[in-house]
Amino acid sequence: MSILSIVSFLLITGFIALFSALKTRKKKVQTTNGLFFADHNNNFFIVGGALLLSNISANQFIGENESIYTNNMSVMAWGVSSVLAMLLVAEFFLPIYFRTGAMTIPDYLGKRYDNSTKRLVSIVFLCSYVVNLLPAVLYGGAVALTGMFNFLLPLQLTYWQNIWIMVWVIGLTGCAYSVLGGLRAISISDTILSIGLLTIGIAFPYFGFKFLGNGDWFKGFHILLSQHTDHLNAIGGPKDEIPLSTIFTGMFIMNLYYWGMEQFIVQQALSAKSLSHSQKGMGLACLGKLLCPFIINIPGLVGVHLYSNLENTAEVFPLVVKDTLPGIMIGLTAAVVLGAAISTFNAGLNSSSTLFVLNLYKPWLEKRNKEITEKHLVYTGRKFEIIVSALAMFSAPFIMFSKAGFYTYLQQLGGMFCVPIFTIILVGFVSKKVPPQAAKIGMIFFIFSYIVFNYILDIKLHYLHMLALLFVFTTICMLVVAKLYANYHYTEIKLESVELSPWKNRYWYFALLLMGMISIFVLFSKWGIA
């Protein structure tokens, strides 16, 4: 642990916090629109940076590199194949949200179905964040920083104790950031961190390959391409962690849900000043996702050659960073990883508060004819963020005892919450004849079936294929229920709250992105470098 790495880490982290504070100092957050949606004033660059960094957390740095070290590059399919889903969201989903004036995903479902569906989905979202998203983000960040610095080594604490302390450091920092600055501060810091992430992506291959080749960059690059080439393969077979077939089943569903229906992601897209800026921002984030295999995953490939048998495989990323990078780059990497963890944590907190205040607490006040002020709602939202933060910080360290790999644990648990929401939204998009009763029955049917088949019966079927099958069965279930309500028909209410003209040049840019996506899969295959 060098003094230079610690100093650079503190300086970079301090600069990001100071810059965000200065940019938002004149805009005191006093309304729910300001706290949750940045007053719908973000341009495409800020939206794109926020979308990318809200997505990229320490979970990817830790989980994906662990998967590459133990298996191969097939895990990159999560990020690279998501480009197709993101483009579909930009083209079809975002116009619907802006056109209907929906402020949250449950808000849209309340318009499409009814208020009880809105409340049910809000509760499922909140459970997902408290149980899965927020604890996992904190744990991933704690593992990364502990591995890179081990700040607490002089105290002679156990690894378990180190994780506890780092979880609380990240959680308290993130909570303070979100409570004080709102979505605007989060978006600005995300944009700066995107630049830092790109810098790491350019610098790491140079330093990593140079270290691998004992000072000779080209030799290190040659070693990577000529030895252990099975780890370079992204075309997963049946026995790999991510079989290729899953890209077209459960993974596609989860990606489409994540980028088009996950509240903390959609909230970033809806903060744009217009539909055009939102679509451009999504397109910019797509470019970032195509670069992720070269930015995020190379440490795992280098680690394959450096460490023959790691006991704790989740540590491969921080160990590679600590062993290969110079002090100032370690500091930058740690700052970006910390920032990415805080960014995703903040976005999740902000969205949790949005869901609670706008979809549960405010309707409860209205039902009881209570006085509602923006000041009170903002105060309640901030209080709720503190409570959720505490719950996440208490539960996060226990992820360490998960039997599945960290990334698999994250995705497997997440599927239980996200796919039923995806199903009722998609069916609602496609058919105007599906009633609220079908949505609620579909949600309950999916969650119950997933728990039984995946955790109780332990059916020997890849969880992504199971998600796809349950999606089909739930859709059929909803359509059958709809037959019982033949007179029901939904009529869309249009509210033009922002400029709704789409991005004129999007099609040629989208085509280039899809070509890039296919090219990356070919590169990391038997036809390429594998």
DSSP string, 12-50: HHHHHHHHHHHHHTTS---SHHHHHHGGG-B-HHHHHHH
φ and ψ of 182, to 5 deg? 70, -165
Residue 476 pLDDT greater than 60, yes or no: yes
The token pair at 133 is: 């998203």
Residue 302 corresponds to which amino acid?
V
> Is residue 117 domain-resident?
no
**Does residue 472 sit within a domain?**
no
474 vs 255: CA distance, rounded Å: 18
| CATH number, residue 33 | 1.20.1730.10
Check residue 204 and give its pLDDT. Answer: 86
Three-state secondary structure string covering 268-313: HHCCECEHHHHHHHHHHHHHHHHHHHHHCCHHHHHHHHHCCCCCCH
**Structural domain of residue 146, as residue ranges?**
3-102+134-413+500-523
End-to-end CA gap in the chain? 35
Q: Identify whether the C-beta of residue 188 lies closer than 8 Å to the C-beta of residue 46.
A: yes
Q: Any bridge partners for residue 499, and if so which?
A: 274
User: If you average pLDDT over residues 242-266, what whole number do you get?
Assistant: 88
In a domain, 419, yes or no: no
The whole-number pLDDT of residue 36 equals 46
Q: Could you tell me which residues come within 8 angstroms of residue 28 by beta carbon, excluding any fewer than 6 positions away? A: none
Angle (deg, nearest 10), helices 44-55 and 275-295: 40
What total of structural domains would you count in the chain? 1
- Averaged over 170-196, what is the pLDDT? 67
Residue 117: C-alpha distances to residues 109, 261, 380, 424, 425 (Å): 7, 15, 23, 10, 11
Measured from the Cβ of residue 21, the count of other Cβ atoms closer than 10 Å reads 15
- Nearest CA among 254, 212, 297 for reference residue 416: 254
Rounded CA separation 291/308 (Å): 28
Instruction: Pull the structure tokens for residue 254.
Output: 């989860």
Determine which of 183-192, 262-271, 310-319 has the lowest per-residue pLDDT on average.
183-192
Neighbours of 132 (CB within 10 A): 24
Q: Is the pLDDT of residue 259 over 50?
A: yes
In this prediction, residue 37 carries a pLDDT of 47
Q: Is residue 431 a part of any domain in this protein?
A: no
- What is the pTM assigned to this prediction? 0.78
Identify whether 483 is part of a domain: no
Helix (H, G, I), strand (E, B) or coil at 430: helix
234: three-class secondary structure by DSSP: coil
Give residue 35's pLDDT band: very low, low, confident or very high (50, 70, 90). Answer: very low
- Three-state SS for 297? coil
3-state secondary structure of 272: strand
435 three-state secondary structure: coil
Q: Does any domain span residue 228?
A: yes
Q: Three-class SS of residue 114?
A: coil
Residue 405 — very low, low, confident or very high, per pLDDT cuts 50/70/90? low
Eight-state DSSP code of residue 113: S
Nearest to 341 by CA among 19, 39, 63, 25: 63
Residue 530 lies in a domain: no
The CA-based dihedral angle spanning residues 89, 95, 98, 102, taken in that order and rounded to the nearest 10 degrees: -60
Q: Which range has the worst mean pLDDT, 14-28, 146-160, 292-306, 466-480?
A: 14-28
Contacts of 235 (CB under 8 A, 6+ apart): 74, 244, 521, 524, 525, 526, 530
Share of the chain above pLDDT 90, in %: 31
For residue 321, give both structure tokens: 């960073």
Tell me the residue length of the chain. 530
Rounded Cα distance, 412 and 447, in Å: 13
Phi and psi angles of residue 274, each rounded to the nearest 5 degrees, phi first: -160, 165
Label residue 51 by pLDDT band (50, 70, 90). Answer: confident
Whether 276 is covered by a domain: the verdict is yes
